[in-house]
């Protein structure tokens, strides 16, 4: 352990441990200079040099050779070794500071790898408590009081007390996020308050404030939530999570302008290239936090996912021009190959790629750009032609002895439906009727095998719920019926409206169009019976739908909805009181 010198030499022997300590103290001082340096380039260079020095110092320890050989076996019995060391009765007191420091490093490693059971046992051992009542991780960390190191100990960048404070903040934040995700809101609020009051650097404080905003919004305190989000957004750099949560809060408050502005800022924030960071010397809270999963309020998604959310909200709120701009930007982003997989995180199961095209086409029609909508629909069909049915005639299932038609994804039918609406806007009734008929041919040939009552599960694979399929059929029948009526062919219109009522009795729009057609055809008795039925239904309490439809279909249905049902019923009731011509 020492360098040999010739006999009689006056040069003192130098211990290897002394050399190691001298180099350690020099590197610690260099790292502290790097931390205090205001010049980013000089700071980064000093930090990099110090980091390389620490790595070299670490590799100079012979212990590493032993650890390399015993690593896998050692990992499995670490807790056993800690118990053995901490329960040694003859442990020298001067080793306690170093031992607690090492325990802090072990705790940080176990927290970052979710080994919370081992971490709890370690803290119980350090605190001298093994009772079940002491299983609260935050309480154990608060109770842990590492002994102070002596003045002549080697220099360190971070002592055990500093490690404990970091562990406490990180544990409180992790626990609060998990409680927020699982819906334990009061407990989450308490844990997040604990994290906010701890050792929180600005980037972590922004995340804590965002989570507090989410928690308070869900607890019905939007104004308090807004205060935390405003605090999170203060500063030089704007982060994504508080902007996304702000958009949710403004949506809940009905402030559409602020909601959309928040989403626009979020798109900009996600497109900013992050600057290179100086290497970490300290174990900081950020290093002990897990990556946000889609259920976390800190998960923002990709720029394309947020762009989709912005586009869809504009379409839902009737801002067709803005929706068109965002949808076209989104399609350009998705089709250039930089985002091969698209699955927005905000509304699972989320739309698939074809539905994004359909929503873009619906937005274009809504904005009066029917020709562009046709182009988008044609692009969709050309890119997915391999999914279209190959056999126009029914084929026979040899095993069942029955004839079946090849399955066709619902969005293919929906594409023809939207093309029909585009031709309606362009004033070509013949072409519109042709597209609606093609849509209906596919829809009545296609029967979903899954009888789920709800939204489609995966449009790319052709899975469609009964409700969506019925609504698609009704929309196509009503759309074609309206064109028949506009061209003076009320008898054909009547057939389509009657069939739409049969395929989806819950669609009131079809009944109102049917009533108007019966009136034009002067079928007074049938019209009166239908009017009485609609009058009775209007007086019943309306039930909220337990399912949702794709946005493109909701938009399409809004185009064929009678403008004022109550006025129509009142007008028809008045006409019944007029004497009929004999």
Task: Give the whole-angstrom CA distance, residue 435 versus residue 162.
Answer: 70
- The two tokens of residue 263 are 């989403």
As a whole number, mean pLDDT of residues 78-87 equals 79
Q: Say whether pLDDT at 336 is over 80.
A: no
| Residues contacting 150, CB < 8 A, separation 6+ | 94, 97
pLDDT at 34: 74
| Per-residue confidence band for 74, with pLDDT thresholds at 50, 70 and 90 | low
Cα–Cα distances in angstroms (integers) from residue 557 to residues 264, 424, 442, 554, in the given order: 28, 14, 19, 5
pLDDT at 1 over 70: no
User: How many Å is the maximal CA-CA distance in the chain?
Assistant: 141
Give the residues across from 81 on adjacent strands. none
DSSP alpha helices (H): ranges in 272-369?
A: 303-316, 320-335, 353-366
With 80 as the cut, is the pLDDT of residue 436 above it? Answer: yes
| Residue that is written with structure tokens 């989000």 in the block | 229
Question: Rounded to the nearest 10 degrees, how much is the dihedral formed by the CA atoms of 145, 150, 156, 161?
Answer: 10
- Check if the beta carbon of residue 205 is closer than 8 Å to that of residue 170: no
The whole-number pLDDT of residue 50 equals: 78
Query: Alpha helices of 219-319 — where are they, by DSSP H?
Result: 222-233, 240-253, 256-271, 303-316
Checking if the pLDDT of 190 tops 60, the result is: yes
Say how far apart CA 26 and CA 101 lie, in whole Å. Answer: 20
Query: Which contacts of 266-274 are long-range, i.e. CB under 8 A and separated by 24 or more positions?
Result: 266/240, 266/300, 266/306, 267/303, 267/306, 267/307, 267/310, 269/238, 269/239, 269/240, 269/243, 270/240, 270/300, 270/302, 270/303, 270/306, 271/303
What is the model's pLDDT at position 188? 96
Label residues 335-364 b or e (16+ Cβ within 10 Å = b). Answer: eeeeeeebbbbbeeeebbbbbbbbbbbbbb
- The structure tokens listed for 21 are 């300590």
Q: Does residue 495 register a pLDDT over 80? A: yes
Tens-digit pLDDT profile for residues 142-163:
999 998 887 778 888 888 899 9
Low-confidence winner among 20-24, 44-48, 75-79, 361-365 (lowest mean pLDDT): 75-79
pLDDT of residue 465: 77
| Range 108-123 average pLDDT | 91
Per-residue pLDDT tens for 443-469? 887 555 544 444 444 454 445 678 888
Structure tokens at 488: 């003076």
Q: Can you tell me the distance from the alpha carbon of 244 to that of 239, in angstroms, rounded to the nearest whole number?
A: 9
pLDDT at residue 350 in the model? 55
Percent share of the chain, pLDDT over 70: 78
Instruction: Look at residue 305 and tell me whether its pLDDT is greater than 70.
Output: yes
Q: Note every long-range contact of 79-82, with CB atoms under 8 Å and residues 24 or more positions apart, other chains counting.
A: 79/118, 79/121, 79/122, 82/106, 82/122, 82/125
Angle at 70 between CA 65 and CA 72, to 5 degrees: 130
Chain Cα centroid distance, residue 50: 39
Q: Report the alpha-carbon distance of residue 212 to residue 314 in Å, rounded.
A: 27
- The DSSP output letter for 505 is T
pLDDT at 108: 92
- The pLDDT score that the predictor gives to residue 323 is 96
Query: Whole-structure pTM over 0.95, yes or no?
Result: no
Please say if the pLDDT value at position 249 is more than 80.
yes
Residue 424 pLDDT exceeds 90: yes
Average pLDDT over residues 123-143: 80
Q: For 509-523, how does the pLDDT look when each residue is reduced to its tens digit (9 = 90+)?
A: 899 999 999 989 989
Question: Taking Cα atoms as reference points, which of 377, 374, 469 lies closest to residue 425?
Answer: 374
pLDDT band at 10 (very low <50, low <70, confident <90, very high): very low
558: closest CA among 210, 206, 317, 309? 317
Segment 555-582 shows an average pLDDT of: 78
Structure tokens at 144: 């842990």
Residue 514: the pLDDT is 92
CA distance 52 to 62: 18
Q: What is the per-residue pLDDT for 132?
A: 52
Mean pLDDT, the chain, rounded, equals: 81
Instruction: Please name every residue paired with 2 in a beta bridge, in sequence order, or none if there are none.
Output: 15
Where does the pLDDT of residue 18 fall: very low under 50, low under 70, confident under 90, or very high at 90 and above?
confident
What pLDDT is recorded for position 418?
97
- Bridge partners (DSSP) of residue 404 are 395
| Greatest mean pLDDT among 68-77, 124-133, 260-269 | 260-269
pLDDT given at position 164: 94
pLDDT band at 227 (very low <50, low <70, confident <90, very high): very high
Please determine, for residue 392, whether its predicted confidence score (pLDDT) is greater than 60: no
Tokens of 278: 């100086």
Provide the pLDDT for residue 546: 53
Q: What are phi and psi of 395, to 5 degrees?
A: -120, 155
Question: Residue 35 pLDDT more than 60?
Answer: yes
């Amino acid at each position: 352990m020492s360098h040999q010198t010739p006999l009689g030499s006056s040069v003192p022997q130098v211990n290897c441990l002394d050399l190691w300590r001298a180099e350690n103290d020099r590197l610690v001082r260099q790292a502290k200079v790097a931390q205090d340096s205001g010049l980013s380039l000089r700071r980064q260079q000093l930090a990099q040099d110090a980091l390389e020095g620490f790595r070299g110092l670490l590799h100079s320890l012979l212990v590493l050779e032993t650890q390399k050989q015993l690593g896998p076996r050692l990992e499995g019995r670490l807790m056993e070794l800690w118990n053995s060391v901490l329960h040694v009765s003859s442990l020298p007191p001067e080793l306690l500071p170093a031992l607690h420091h090492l325990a802090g490093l072990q705790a940080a490693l176990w927290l970052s790898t979710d080994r919370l059971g081992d971490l709890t046992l370690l803290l119980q051992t350090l605190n001298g408590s093994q009772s079940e009542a002491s299983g609260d991780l935050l309480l154990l960390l608060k109770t842990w009081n590492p002994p102070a190191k002596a003045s002549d100990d080697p220099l360190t960048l971070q002592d055990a007390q500093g490690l404990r404070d970091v562990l406490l903040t990180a544990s409180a934040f992790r626990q609060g996020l998990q409680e927020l995700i699982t819906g334990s809101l009061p407990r989450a609020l308490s844990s997040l308050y604990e994290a906010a009051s701890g050792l929180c650097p600005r980037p972590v404080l922004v995340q804590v404030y965002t989570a507090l905003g989410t928690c308070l919004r869900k607890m019905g305190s939007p104004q308090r939530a807004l205060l935390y989000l405003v605090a999170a957004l203060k500063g030089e750099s704007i982060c994504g999570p508080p902007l996304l949560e702000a958009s949710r809060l403004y949506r809940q408050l009905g402030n559409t302008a602020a909601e959309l502005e928040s989403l626009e800022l979020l798109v900009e924030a996600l497109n900013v290239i992050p600057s290179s960071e100086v290497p970490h010397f300290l174990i900081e809270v950020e290093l002990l936090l897990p990556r946000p999963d889609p259920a976390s309020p800190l998960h923002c998604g990709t720029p394309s996912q947020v762009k989709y959310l912005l586009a869809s909200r504009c379409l839902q709120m009737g801002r067709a021009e803005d929706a068109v701009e965002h949808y076209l930007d989104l399609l350009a982003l998705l089709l250039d190959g930089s985002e091969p997989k698209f699955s927005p995180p905000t509304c699972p199961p989320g739309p698939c790629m074809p539905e994004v095209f359909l929503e873009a086409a619906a937005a274009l029609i809504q904005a009066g750009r029917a020709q562009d909508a046709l182009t988008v629909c044609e692009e969709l069909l050309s890119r997915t032609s391999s999914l279209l049915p190959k056999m126009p005639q029914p084929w026979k299932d040899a095993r069942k002895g029955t004839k079946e038609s090849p399955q066709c994804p619902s969005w293919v039918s929906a594409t023809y439906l939207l093309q029909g609406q585009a031709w309606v806007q362009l004033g070509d009734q013949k072409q519109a009727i042709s597209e609606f008929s093609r849509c209906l041919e596919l829809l009545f040939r296609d029967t979903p095998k899954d009888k789920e009552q709800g939204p489609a599960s995966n449009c790319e694979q052709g899975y469609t719920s009964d409700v969506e399929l019925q609504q698609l059929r009704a929309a196509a029948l009503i759309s074609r019926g309206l064109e028949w009526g506009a061209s003076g062919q009320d008898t054909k219109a009547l057939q389509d409206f009657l069939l739409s009522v049969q395929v989806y009795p819950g669609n009131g729009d079809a009944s109102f169009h049917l009533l108007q057609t019966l009136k034009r055809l002067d079928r007074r008795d049938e019209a009166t019976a239908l009017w009485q039925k609609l009058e009775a239904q209007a007086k019943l309490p309306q039930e909220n739908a337990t399912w949702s439809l794709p946005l493109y279909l909701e938009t399409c249905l809004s185009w064929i909805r009678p403008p004022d049902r109550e006025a129509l019923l009142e007008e028809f009731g008045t006409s019944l009181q007029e004497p009929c011509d004999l």
